[in-house]
Structure 1
């Protein structure tokens, strides 16, 4: 039987999706959505791209309107974070002192930015980019910027580097690893992305960290000094060195955690009355030999929908194929599947044209497909990666083969 009172801690993409999907599957009981930021639930991907460039206003980030939430009878408790979880009493106490009783609790607490441990890292002019407030503060500084330093060549850092190039100011990216996006994409894709950024004026320093930041006469950041002693002038710094799962509330209540909140294939925690979804959840997945914590909009949405079906009585394991995207200037990078552990690749298309895909295999198994400016390849890959219909290694490079041939029957 579906639980009556459902409390969702976390008003991001995963939490909101769970609430909406619960109504769609017929849940009629109270749903309370607890957020730790003011305002409505909002989308994060545009923060590092369209929002900074002024293509989307702040109001355009909202995922749903107040009228929609009211019509769906979703009670939003914004800017009132959950502080104490009492599993025995099945209550959650908020910062305001409000106490909520639940029959089932959903933890969709997301992740927080990883702070850079370097001297001077709290100087004015040093920014992170995780929340809407972060993006608004960064956007306010772009107009007067001339020289930016980005710490970290992950998706956020590269997307900001593309924004810097669009706005016409110099940008240097400092990355501790020997290659950009080292854990996310194949070497072929990484090399192409790097070349495209360099052609637009971005400079990369690989195998380097930032030892310290130095202030100018106005007290704002003026230099980033690398681990090898190179002093980089900067009037703006963006730090993008990853995120950490918000699993503190779960851990303090005795739930199992391991780099995130541990859940089973039905997204239940070690307490059957509590589930976890989204960026905070570490879940088994058929594409991986070990449980994963996946940071993506797709995963947040799909887990929210899946959990609603489970709470409505479905007995099914979460198995949605992970997929990701990143817009970086003229590069639209889309990834279907999880390529970690691949040992060989097949190129489909010509990188010189700016349009190609990389098929990543481990042995005979297709793990994932990376597509640069080839959306049709990506859409097909989302349907055949992880199935027995996927093209074999010898077939993937043959562009005379229509990828639709490998799609499952509708």
Structure 2
């Protein structure tokens, strides 16, 4: 009797989702061959430190790796790094790679992530203008940061503000230009926005709201020297970071004819409309039992949870993804922890005092807690995760009352 040939599962991508999937398959003793193909030269790594501790030089590159390459290799998982997948041929179940080779697959997992949204404006190709998405981007930006330099950050979201905090601590003069009327407007409420506006301005950052950018000026030698504003005038700059969001990396999936809609469309088991192809992480718009409609989430928690669901699906298990989404951001001595999505709230409840730098905002919809933003208040975040997951109805009075024990709610 001959042994049945092992099937091959190929993972495309090298971020948190891909790395977590590799680990989950190891833990589950996945019986098939596993090959990971990543365009980057690094094994799967975590990206959050890129705008914080890694940018500040507080940790080295290897500390970013989810696991040492030898762990994967010793387990028989193959890493093909520095190679890009150019095309997916679904009929023949093969991939065409940038080194002219091909790779057969039986099951395929797309963990292609996202790419930065570019600002197409006059002067956008000048030297000294940076984007931050991978290790190489952070290395390039960090090499230019020095005390007294003028850094202009276009965009007042998580990444831009984290870089502003890190650069300010290094003695860099920082200006943040945000087109909206408050910081982090897309992801949080006005109380949190106002708190971080005060935090950054107190630290010496020049934060300008309602300020759109129209282009970049040159020093005459091909390097950026200033940022031009829609309202007129300019801001002098030695370095510029453009941080205006990301776009899901769906080109491979689209060219292969997979269903995409601002992300690769998957169900609660991470399956695409091709039964042999799964997708996980930032690149997906997914069905989550927690939501009424498909969502696209850009977070480590989403990448990890989807990866674990994908591992279960590959093993033939039925384990739907239904976790409440959560996020975090570290800026200066502040840890912001967020759970749920607050966009559809009809009531906000403040617990604690903003001036004490330990407080939380609970977002309610028809009396149910749908999201919580906690500043230096981990107990509110931990309780909030349970409340959001359980769709629990809590009175605003109880949430606001500091004498009321939050733990009693769970």
**TM-score normalised by L of structure 1:** 0.96
1:103 positional shift: 1.4
For residues 263-282 of structure 1, what are the structure 2 equivalents within 5 Å?
263-282=266-285
Indicate the SS of the match to 1:404.
helix
Structure 2: distance between partners of 1:117 and 1:288 = 34
1:73 matched to which residue of 2?
Answer: 76
Structure 2: distance between partners of 1:390 and 1:30 = 47
Q: Of residues 173, 192, 196 in structure 2, which corresponds to 1:193?
A: 196
Q: Of residues 289, 299, 302 in structure 2, which corresponds to 1:299?
A: 302
In the alignment, structure 1 residue 35 sits paired with structure 2 residue 35: no
Say if 1:389 and 1:406, in contact at 8 Å, map to a contact too.
Answer: no
For residues 1-400 of structure 1, what are the structure 2 equivalents within 5 Å?
4-143=7-146, 146-389=149-392, 391-400=394-403
Indicate the SS of the match to 2:11.
strand
Structure 1: distance between partners of 2:222 and 2:18 = 40
In structure 2, relative to structure 1, the CA distance for the partners of 1:390 and 1:98 (3 Å cut) is farther
1:44 positional shift: 0.6
Structure 2: distance between partners of 1:311 and 1:28 = 10
Larger CA deviation: 209-218 vs 351-360 = 209-218
More relative contact order in 1 or in 2 (CA 8 Å, sep 6+)? 1
Aligned length: 405
Larger CA deviation: 51-60 vs 286-295 = 286-295
Structure 1: gaps (5+ residues): none
Structure 1: distance between partners of 2:292 and 2:210 = 30
**TM-score normalised by L of structure 2:** 0.96
In structure 2, relative to structure 1, the CA distance for the partners of 1:25 and 1:392 (3 Å cut) is farther
Indicate the SS of the match to 1:395.
helix
RMSD (Å) for aligned C-alpha atoms? 1.4
Q: Deviations over 1:247-284 (max 9, x none)?
A: 00000010000011001111100101101000001002
Structure 2: distance between partners of 1:389 and 1:229 = 49
1:383 positional shift: 2.5
Structure 2: gaps (5+ residues): 1-5
Say if 1:390 and 1:406, in contact at 8 Å, map to a contact too.
Answer: no
Structure 1: distance between partners of 2:75 and 2:301 = 23
Say if 2:18 and 2:44, in contact at 8 Å, map to a contact too.
Answer: no
Structure 1: distance between partners of 2:400 and 2:114 = 38
Larger CA deviation: 264-273 vs 210-219 = 210-219
